[in-house]
Amino acid sequence: MEDIMSNEILNLLNHSDEPLETKEIKEKLKCKIKKESVTRTKIFYRLNLLRGDGKIKGKFTGPGKGVWIWWRIDAFTSKT
């Protein structure tokens, strides 16, 4: 499913030099997309769809509730 939010998430992660937390992605998307439509639940849903499609990578980190971090698919591949 391609939509504006998914495209913006892909663009954001593809232009980031470091992994981003879900909360950071939400804050950055608020500037680009109508604010009422940007919720953590919607973003998290799309992040997981993109991860399932192999377009991005993500990992749950930390104790207890922890946080999810997300990065572009080729972020850690060797360029040598």
CA distance readout (Å), 24 to 17, 70, 73, 74, 78: 14, 10, 18, 20, 26
Does the predicted TM-score (pTM) go above 0.95?
A: no
| Position with higher pLDDT, 33 vs 50 | 50
Would you kindly state where each structural domain of the chain is located, as residue ranges?
Answer: 4-72
Q: What number is the average pLDDT over the span 3-12?
A: 94
| Separation between Cα atoms, residue 50 and residue 25, nearest integer Å | 14
Q: What confidence tens digit (pLDDT) does each residue in 38-64 have?
A: 899 999 999 999 999 999 999 999 888
Residue 61, strand partner residues: 67
| Separation between Cα atoms, residue 15 and residue 21, nearest integer Å | 15
CATH 1.10.10.10 fits 4-72, yes or no: yes
Q: What region does 41 belong to: left with phi over 0, alpha with psi -120 to 50, or beta? A: alpha
5, 29 contact by CB (below 8 A) = yes
